[in-house]
A and B are shown apart, each in its own frame.
Chain A
Amino acid sequence: MTSPAQASDFTRALDALCATHLGGAMTDYTRLSGGASQESYRFACGGEVFVLRRPPGGVAKAGGSSALSMTDEARALKQVHGAGVWVPEVVHICTPDDGLGMGYIMRFIEGQTIARKILRDDEFAAIRPQLAAQCGTMLARLHALNSDEMTGLPRSDAAGELNKYTEILRAHAHPHPVFELAIKWLSDNLPAARADALVHGDFRMGNLMVQPQAGVVAILDWELAHIGDPMEDLGWPCVPSWRFGQHQNPVGGFGQREDFYAAYEAAGGTIDRAAVRFWEILGTLKWGIMCTMMATAFTSGADRTVERAAIGRRASETEIDLLRMLEGQD
């Protein structure tokens, strides 16, 4: 919990930052909900609205995480913004002098990120058929960036990701025969090793900001960005767990693969169907193993919330999806 004294230190520091870097006094400060691993605050300054994003308390979690530091995330965002990919514009990366810990400030973008609203609310009905193509276009622009110019980003390819999640599953030690079957299939069907593109790493519903008229206006949450296989970003949004009940629409619950791929190719990208399929199946396995990690977080006492416990019991959803996918369905 933040004590009143800490809260006022925090707002005072943010106010000072507004005066120094954004040219005015801070008004309308609110903490935003959402974002399980990061804090974000919306505030106004000089007639414009901004968002501060930072790790809890401004302190990066030590060790173990493959997520980018806030500073590296902000640098990556600046580079992709410059290349015409729709992301929030970073206006300031926090320094120790700011007294806010790690973090960065970006311009606020209005839009909806809650998947169920985008997939079901009437106000999004007209734009929904356009979303798959917009996603394809954005990803092609992202993947066309010169990855050699990206600094501070980790590299990972198909074999690396598969090994990482296989090790996590083995450490979990609860038997999952369907996951073992998927791991076997994935090791037998590894795509050619490539790590030649800037990959978002978590491109799916929930991280896409959508407006009723314009459609996708921003790609958020770049903390899993890395240099890797661009087909990973085409597979992940088609994982059945990200369809939120709309299974007839494989792309995020809103679109068809053909529209997604066609837009990607029209914008200069090249689709490797077999590799995309590999990443879809690996993505489904990954989410299933993440559910087992949440079960461990609960049973170990690290997180005793009922939500954490309940998510552990969602690993079985990915098992039925994997069995269907390994039979060539979906």
Chain B
Amino acid sequence: MQDKPDIADLMMAVQEFISAEIAPQLTGHAAFSARVAGNVLALMQRELALRPGFRAAQTARLETLLGARGSLEELNHTLCAKIAEGTLGLDDAPLIDHLKRATMGKLAIDQPNYAGYKTAQENDWPEEG
């Protein structure tokens, strides 16, 4: 077991250093890259916090939807194959519910400020987890 600070706190320290101290001292492309780096560190912190619950919830839903067991990656490959062959499609309510939740989860980690995500939240799409 490691000591304090934990990994989320360490990431936050680096993120704040890059975004608040480094980026303002740079210009042009380097300043842009530093802002992107700060955003990536923020994304990593969100993923660290949300990933375990999201993966467990997705795996449970996919096992029910597909009637199969496996890793989340294997289940997703099976789901893709069933959609491509037309066994599951737009008129399957449980599929759409699953895809909405899974995608809401991706956005909560990747880009929580994205306009399309905010619109979906306003329209009461189901959340992941």
Q: A323-B103, A324-B119, A324-B120 are in contact. Are A306 and B86 (CB under 8 A)?
A: no
Interface size of A as a range: 20 to 34
Residues of chain B with a CB closer than 8 A to A245's CB: 115
Which residues A312-328 have CB closer than 8 A to chain B?
Answer: 313-314, 316-317, 319-321, 323-324, 326-327
Which residues B82-112 have CB closer than 8 A to chain A?
Answer: 83-84, 86, 89-90, 96, 99-100, 102-104, 106-107, 110-111
Point out which of A178, A316, A319 has the most chain B C-beta atoms below 10 A from its C-beta: A316
22 contacts between A and B (CB under 8 A): A175-B73, A175-B79, A176-B80, A177-B76, A177-B99, A178-B103, A181-B89, A240-B116, A247-B116, A306-B33, A307-B33, A313-B111, A316-B106, A316-B110, A317-B107, A317-B116, A320-B116, A320-B117, A321-B116, A323-B96, A324-B120, A326-B90
When the two chains form their complex, are residues A247 and B36 in contact, meaning their CB atoms are under 8 A apart? no
Partner of A181, one of B37, B99, B106: B99
- Is residue A309 within 8 Å, beta carbon to beta carbon, of the partner chain? yes
B53 to chain A, nearest CB (A): 17
Residues of chain B with a CB closer than 8 A to A21's CB: none
For the residues of B in contact with A, the DSSP-based class is helix
Residues of chain B with a CB closer than 8 A to A184's CB: 83-84, 86, 89
Q: A314-B110, A317-B116, A323-B103 are in contact. List 11 more A-B contacts (CB 8 A).
A: A175-B76, A175-B80, A180-B80, A180-B83, A181-B89, A184-B83, A310-B39, A313-B111, A317-B107, A317-B117, A323-B100
C-beta contact mask, A68-87 vs B, less than 8 Å → 1, else 0? Answer: 00000000000000000000
Point out which of B40, B80, B119 has the most chain A C-beta atoms below 10 A from its C-beta: B80
Residues of chain A with a CB closer than 8 A to B69's CB: none
- Is residue A185 within 8 Å, beta carbon to beta carbon, of the partner chain? yes
Q: How far is the CA of A309 from the CA of B36 in the complex (A)?
A: 10
Residues of chain B with a CB closer than 8 A to A324's CB: 116, 119-120
A237 to chain B, nearest CB (A): 16
Q: Which 6 A-B pairs have the closest CB atoms?
A: A175-B76, A316-B106, A247-B115, A180-B83, A313-B110, A316-B110
- Is residue B43 within 8 Å, beta carbon to beta carbon, of the partner chain? yes
- Is residue A93 within 8 Å, beta carbon to beta carbon, of the partner chain? no
Q: How far is the CA of A314 from the CA of B32 in the complex (A)?
A: 17
B111 to chain A, nearest CB (A): 6
Residues of chain A with a CB closer than 8 A to B73's CB: 175
Q: How far is the CA of A319 from the CA of B35 in the complex (A)?
A: 25
A177 to chain B, nearest CB (A): 5
- Beta-carbon nearest neighbor of A284 in chain B: B116
